[in-house]
Structure 1
Amino acid sequence: MKLIRLWGILLFVLTSCNFRSSDLEEALVLAGNNRSELEAVLDHFKDRGKVAYESACFLITNMQYHESKDEIVLDSLYNSYFIHTDSLYRGIFSKIPLNEQKEYKGREYDSLRLTLGDIFNTLPAPQIKSGVHLSDLQTVKSDFLIDNIEEAIKIWEANEYDYRKDFDFFKEFILPYRTTNEYLVHKRSEIRKMYESLLVDTASIRTQIEHYKIYVDKCRWINHHTKPKGHLGIYDLFVPKFKMDCHNMTNWSCNVLRACGIPTIYEFTPKWTDRDNRHFWCVSPDSIGILQPYTAPDNNIREDWESDIKYAGKVYRKTYGAQKNTPYFWADEDEFIPESFKTPLLSDQTFRYHQTITLRLPFKVDSHNNIAYLAMFTVDNKLVPVGWGKIDHSKHEIIFEQVPLNTLFFPVCYDADNMLPIAEPFIIYSSSKLKDIPEPLTTNELPRNVVDVSVVDGKLSFDKQTKWSDLKYLTLNCDTSQKIRMHLLRKYPQKRRMKTFYEKLNGACLLGGNQERGEYDTLCTIKEMPVPYLQEIAFENCKQYRYYRFCTSNSEPVNIAHMEFLGNYSPNHNCAIPTALPVFSEEELVRQKSCQLYRINGVPIRTGSKPEYAFDNNYNTYVGAASIGMDFKTPVQITSIRFVPRNANNMIVPGNSYMLLYYDGEWKEHKVLRAEHQYLDFENVPVATLYWLRNLTEGKEELPFFYIDGKQYFLHIDTVLL
């Protein structure tokens, strides 16, 4: 009995709140002169219960992996300015329903916004020290950390979290005082006070995020004319200049939302499947607890899933706590690690975004490395590492976990910092969704029984007795003895975002009138979604008008890249030959008839910024106003319009030169052609799995494609049945 009691006492001591792990002791030693500050935090919470003390231990233990990359010091006038911005928001929008705030333009506030811009632009420049790398262990003070933990504990108590079920979630989604490498200025309680009247105690997480989204959008509207001289820390959220900096916006959004009790974490993809960029976004649970992504502060949960995040490649979570299954811990002492994977603060979350498998590849390279990588192709003909796998030297294999289906990967390893191919590029192909693998955004936990497959003699071998007939291991083959003729129309697929612009043009009208601000007659209405190239709409019009306007039916931007007004020759106007309609094949070229009408030019009506962009013959520029128009000075009869909606100009452009490449162990050039029309015909092309069309004249966006039955299927975008 005494022995049992002694073991019980020992167990209590070892598991008590005040027990310090070796990792915690190591962190305190590394803190140096700042150790007393961290000891003060531990002392403050030692008698506050298990959750509070373990929270302090968790934060301090992992501080050695965190730092502020840059130091940003702002004049106090910035605080005063943004307090004023907040007051203006509340004064203008307090009585406007949330769903109406988004569309509110408030022209009567234009002069006020100009004045605010002038005031802001006189503020002293931020004092920024780049690359200082201030270690949290040596710089974070006790009052800052105590404030953060106290605030987090309030959220714990308000949500009635359970230790066993919720503490791990709490540690990453609520507790952290930072998100990535931002400079720490504001205490958590200060951030909460900035937003609590907007975000705290609203009905749901979705409603809270919607309040936040609209608030930031309207603050940017108020600050439209500001011209910041450098980053402003948390205030970057409220000025338009930094809107497209998704890392920065995600970073500060996580801090704001967590401070207000919304569980939030930072996730990212090192590369899109259809673009070379990285992207960063927030993640929060929906009403049933499933984690959902959103690019904050411009979207609510899942709002940009279909348009963007769905096309992420591998996906990682930026954690606060160190993860032991990362290259940081797995790599040999002298083993090279790519820059993006040098941190232990990564958790692979690809399984939540794609159907994935565990893949075992043979490893036949003479190397002592512990890690191999999966890389993806970029348009500058480079490979970017996006995932890692552990090398099992005893079995001569690499185990890659969470490999998404239908994605092209290049297996590589490193000799020093030189990337070396170690196997053929491959795709784990499936013609349909697999019912036994969770679909995207339906689970928070990686399934215990993952699909585990090995590559043996170039084919998939399955674990246990399971046979996944829908899965295929595809490599990039090439047969130079066989030739085909190839008819190409694009170098890059049509962008999803552009399609939404075209949809909003359905219902747009062409109007004619003789007074710029008088009554207009409706001459024609667009009754179907326009196409992304030059098209003509003819209509009956027996009258002459001085002014012609083209406008959307819902005040959305017209997003027109180019427009021409056509009619019979008029001696009173500047007339020219209209731009020819596109030709997509030799057959169309033979059938094409000459146009009997003339392009009649006038003076663009000033309906917004840069109205001339709609008439400049440049398809790379566009007008974003709700209408465009032309003043012909004297009335003229217009009976047709030709126009191009805003587009990325990724079709075949006449006058541009294009190189066709095919993959045969490496990218090999087939031929260069100069486009005469909107298509290219290449002869005697080797039969290959994958091709790549490069524009040698202009543009950056390109994507490899399959060519099957006379049609292009772009990699990762188009559905291919093989």
Structure 2
Amino acid sequence: MKLIFAILLFSILGVTMTGCHRDVVVVPMLVDVNSALKLSGDNRGELQKVLDYYRKEKPDLLKLKAAEYLISNMVAHYAVAGETMDRLKRDIDTTLRDQPNAVKLMFYLMAARVAIAQGGNTVEYDLHKITSDYLIRNIEQSFVIWENIQNHYDLSCEDFFKYILPYRINNEPLIEWKDSAYYHLYNFDKGDQLGFSLGGYQGYISAKIPTYYRYEKFKEQFSDSLLRMYEADCIDRAYSTQIINRIFGIPTAVDFVPHYPTRENRHYWTILRDHRYVNSKCYYSYTPYTAKVYRKTSFINPIPEDKDNFIPHFIRDPYKIDVTEEYENAVDLNYTFKTFKSNTRYGYLCVFNNLAWNEVAWSEMRGGKVMFEKIGRDIMYMPCYYDGKHQVFADYPLWVRSNGEVEPLVPDKKRLQKLRLNRKFTYNPSGDYNGAAIIGVQLHATNDLSKEPYDSIAVIRHYNYMAYDTLCVNTTKKYKFWMVKKVNYNNPAFASIKFMQDGEALTAKSTFTINLTGKMDKNERLSRNIFNDDLLDFGALSKIAGVEFKEPVSVDVVKYITQNDKNGVYPGDTYELLYFDQGEWVSLGRKVATADYIEYDDVPSGALYWLRNRTEGKEERPFTVMNGRVRFW
């Protein structure tokens, strides 16, 4: 960690390159070459060989500048190491020994994430480990790629340095991956047929090599269970795309949202650095708006330095740059902390994600004042700072409205209200889609499945979003087989269906389905999922599904619930309502639900609230109540 913080001891320098076919370009370098050499320790000789190679052995001013760029921006780069990483790397090398190194690199990146998740990993800084041969070969191969790409479009010197030249993607073990194994897939002499379309060229390359985007092709071949069980996500897809594009000279950036402000988790994606589309306000993050968008960089950017107080892990990463303005109509936020310690150097801005306030931006603090630049609108924020390792929050959350105005959510304890709540998480649009799909589903019953038609009992005419609804049965006749049948082309999905009598759920002997040919299957997965109590599984009603009782029974009510996220309120679960006041969450007590809602009296109005399920579940989001309506954030 000391090595990372050491980069801030040096001033920001620029390297001007005059050997490019474009105008003079200034490439960002936070650390100068001599300072990087001093930090390299015993490995200084290897780095010096690279510089001497392009100064004396094979003099080339532009390649020398490329070497200086890589070395200067190397100081915080590292590879994940340790026992787990070494074991996974051996498995990848053995299993993929006949594959291009670029494919191995994709799995190195995944393995590094696995090793970090397992814990006990170590790091190996590039400054201390990289060899001169490796660095020289990367530079030479990168310039070959640059030369080849000129047949297609004019790749600027700046984009070459930022998006083609770098040897590393993230924190994977070093490997020579810019090999020529892919080049047989594309005839560079035919490049003119694509015209000056970077997107068209990228699409052509992608169509030629789709296999290497697919983790599943190799997944089962690994011997290590950690690799076989690994599920690739948006991060892996973004890095894999960048690897392939970089090999073919396509400048590609990886952009990401570190924490969504109105939903859980984060997201990574790639964009082409086509200058015709920069600042186009295109949304690549699959959300209507977000607080912050960053770009992974090959060059070092300023980060806080604080010896007295904790700096959040995400903020400490120097290889990112703020690109929020390329996606959002951003606004600046000024805030003043009422109390703070004299050694407080930085303030941070948080959004709520995964049950906690998570930092997404930082600012220098002067006299308690901070300014967070370029943040998204219509979002709930929480400023904070650190006193040692303790996170100190602002008095109240801040709602940055769509028009840029800032409204603190101050609880009004003189104006109390009664809240009836039936969810703890953002309303899911699929709830209405799934609900509409069950309209028209028919309830049938019979005592003899061999005799059709079965008795028609009732039809579902409504749904209760993602909560249980009831269907009244207007017959006292007893039946051994009760079933549901779709009437439309869609397959309505049910998470649970219960047959009730006098308020009690009846216990069935078995479940079954009947297909169009009349074949009956007992206790298959589809019928089990529909007629059990687990709300997180579901059955799509592609055929008749029902239950069999030991003896004919009378049913007065059918309770049903559509496919859902199990984020409602359920009888028997314990809930706790909190509101934010003066830097902390304040509890209004715990209650056991007796219905599909929970009620709280004497709740301060105008606050930010949080309903927690203390029995089970992990998806919860804060909310406000405005004009009697709940809005989740």
TM-score by length of 2: 0.71
1:13-28 equivalence runs, <5 A = 23-28=32-37
Question: Which deviates further from its counterpart, 162-171 or 339-348?
Answer: 162-171
Distance 1:635 1:340, change over 3 A: same
CA distance in 2: counterparts of 1:353 and 1:224, whole angstroms:
35
Distance 1:626 1:194 in 2: 47
Residue of structure 1 equivalent to 2:349 = 374
214, 221, 224: which one aligns with 1:229: 224
Describe how 1:73-472 pairs up with structure 2 within 5 A.
Answer: 73=87, 78=92, 81-82=95-96, 131-160=121-150, 166-189=156-179, 192=182, 203-206=200-203, 208-209=205-206, 216-217=213-214, 220=216, 222=217, 229=224, 241-275=229-263, 277-285=265-273, 288-290=276-278, 305-306=285-286, 309-310=287-288, 312-324=290-302, 326-327=303-304, 331-332=305-306, 334-362=308-336, 365-377=340-352, 380=355, 382-392=356-366, 397-421=369-393, 424-430=396-402, 470-472=403-405
Pick one of 646, 649, 652 that aligns with 2:566. 649
Question: Which one-letter code corresponds to 2:171 in the other structure?
Answer: N
| 2:593 matches 1:660 | no
The secondary structure found in structure 1 opposite 2:617 is: coil
Q: How far is the alpha carbon of 1:641 from its aligned partner? A: 7.5
Shift of 1:356: 1.6
Residues in 2 aligned to 1:14 and 1:477: alpha-carbon distance in whole angstroms: 52
CA 138–551 in structure 1, closer or farther in 2 if over 3 Å, else same: farther
Q: Report if the CA contact (8 A) 2:495-2:536 is conserved.
A: yes
* Number of the residue aligned with 2:39: 30
Matched residue, 1:454:
none
CA–CA distance in structure 1, aligned partners of residues 504 and 160 of structure 2:
61
Query: In structure 2, what is the equivalent of residue 434 of structure 1?
Result: none
Report Cα offsets for 1:509-538 as digits up to 9, x if no partner: 99999999xx999x9999999942334689
Quote the offset at 1:317 in angstroms. 2.2
Q: 1:140-187, CA deviations, whole angstroms, 9 ceiling, x for partnerless residues?
A: 233433343334334433444999983333333332222221122352
Offset at residue 312 of structure 1 (A): 4.5
Change (3 A) 1:642 1:680: closer
The answer for the alignment partner of 2:496 in structure 1 is 562
Shift of 1:474: 0.6
Distance 1:223 1:192, change over 3 A: closer
Is the aligned partner of 1:487 residue 2:420? yes
Contact 2:413/2:604 (8 A) holds in 1: yes
Which deviates more from structure 2 when the two are superposed, residues 667-676 or residues 44-53?
A: 44-53
In 2, Cα distance between equivalents of 1:155 and 1:509: 64
Q: Secondary structure at the match of 1:69?
A: strand
The one-character-per-residue Cα deviations of 1:27-62 (angstroms, maximum 9, x if unpaired) are 234334434433444455555755543322211211
CA pair 493-78 structure 1, distance change in 2 beyond 3 A = closer
Residues 83 and 644 (structure 1), Cα distance of their counterparts in 2 relative to 1, 3 Å cut: farther
Deviation digits for residues 104-130 of structure 1 (CA, Å, limit 9, x no counterpart): xxxxxxxxxxxxxxxxxxxxx9xx995
Structure 2 CA distance for partners of 1:551 and 1:389, relative to 1, 3 Å: farther
Matched position secondary structure for 1:59: helix
The aligned amino acid for 2:247 is A
Contact 1:663 1:691 in 2 (8 A): yes
Paired with 1:667 and 1:372, the residues of 2 have a C-alpha distance of 20
Aligned partner of 2:409: which letter? L
Q: CA deviation at 1:387?
A: 1.2
Per-residue CA deviations over 1:421-466 (Å, capped at 9, x if unaligned) read: 4564322212xxxxxxxxxxxxxxxxxxxxxxxxxxxxxxxxxxxx
CA 49–251 in structure 1, closer or farther in 2 if over 3 Å, else same:
same
Q: Which moved more, 1:678-687 or 1:44-53?
A: 44-53
RMSD of Structure 2 on Structure 1 (CA): 5.2
Q: Is the 8 A contact 1:619 1:647 kept in 2?
A: yes
Counterpart AA for 2:632? F
Q: Percent identity of the aligned residues?
A: 25
Counterpart-to-counterpart distance in 1, 2:165 and 2:146: 9
Q: Is the contact made by 1:357 and 1:403 (CA closer than 8 Å) also made in structure 2?
A: yes
Residue 284 of structure 1 aligns with an amino acid whose one-letter code is L
Q: CA deviation at 1:266?
A: 2.9
Q: Whole-Å Cα distance in 2 between the matches of residues 625 and 194 of structure 1? A: 49
The answer on whether the counterparts of 2:49 and 2:132 sit within 8 Å (CA) in structure 1 is yes
Q: Deviations over 1:560-594 (max 9, x none)?
A: 42245x7xxxxxxxx967888xxxxxxxxxxxxxx
Farther off after superposition, 245-254 or 406-415: 245-254
Please give the alpha-carbon distance, in whole angstroms, between the structure 2 residues aligned to 1:272 and 1:563: 34
CA distance in 2, matches of 1:15, 1:260: 23
Hey, what's the Cα distance between the residues in 2 that align with 1:488 and 1:423? 25
Summarize the Cα distance change of 1:51–1:338 in structure 2 as closer, same or farther, 3 Å threshold. same
The match for 1:67 is: 78
1:653-692 matched pairs, under 5 angstroms: 653-665=570-582, 666-692=584-610
Compute the displacement of 1:132 (Å).
Answer: 2.6
The whole-number CA distance in structure 2 between the counterparts of 1:210 and 1:562 is 43
Name the CA distance, whole Å, in 2 between partners of 1:358 and 1:384. 19
**CA deviation vs aligned residue, 1:547-566 (integer Å, no higher than 9, x gap):** 9786898898x7542245x7
CA distance 1:167–1:374, change in 2 (3 Å): same
Q: Could you list the per-position Cα deviations for residues 301-322 of structure 1 after superposition, in whole angstroms to 9, with x for gaps in the alignment?
A: 967x43xx54644232222211
CA gap 1:370/1:164 in 2 versus in 1, 3 angstroms? farther
Deviation digits for residues 188-225 of structure 1 (CA, Å, limit 9, x no counterpart)? 2167469879xx989443565577667644x51x5675
Find out whether 1:58 has 2:77 as its counterpart.
no
1:473 to 391, 403, 406: 406
CA contact (8 A) 2:289 2:376 kept: no
SS at match of 1:189: coil
- Whether the aligned pair in 2 keeps the contact of 1:264 and 1:282 (CA below 8 Å) is yes
Are the equivalent residues in 2 in contact too, given 1:177–1:255 (CA < 8 A)?
no
> 1 CA distance for matches of 2:97 and 2:483?
45
- C-alpha deviation, 1:25, in angstroms: 2.3
Shift in CA distance, 513/285, structure 1 to aligned 2, threshold 3 Å? farther
SS at match of 1:655: coil
Can you list the C-alpha shifts for 1:236-280, whole angstroms capped at 9, x where unaligned?
A: xxx5x3225544554444334422434333333332213453444
- The one-character-per-residue Cα deviations of 1:650-689 (angstroms, maximum 9, x if unpaired) are 1121222222223332322234333222223333322233
For residues 529-544 of structure 1, what are the structure 2 equivalents within 5 Å? 531-535=465-469
SS at match of 1:341: helix
Q: SS state of the match for residue 321, structure 2?
A: strand
Q: Deviations over 1:600-652 (max 9, x none)?
A: 66334479767623321221233579768458599999999864333211112
Assess, with a 3 A threshold, how the Cα gap between structure 1 residues 606 and 144 changes in structure 2: closer, same or farther: farther
Q: Is the 8 A contact 1:69 1:130 kept in 2?
A: no
Cross-structure match for 2:12: none
SS in 2 for 1:485: strand
Worse overlay, 264-273 or 173-182: 264-273
Q: Which amino acid aligns with 1:72?
A: D
CA–CA separation in structure 1 for the residues paired with 2:208 and 2:469? 41
Give distance in 1, aligned partners of 2:170 and 2:162: 12
- Shifted more, 154-163 versus 670-679: the winner is 154-163
**With structure 1 as the length reference, what TM-score do the two structures score?**
0.64
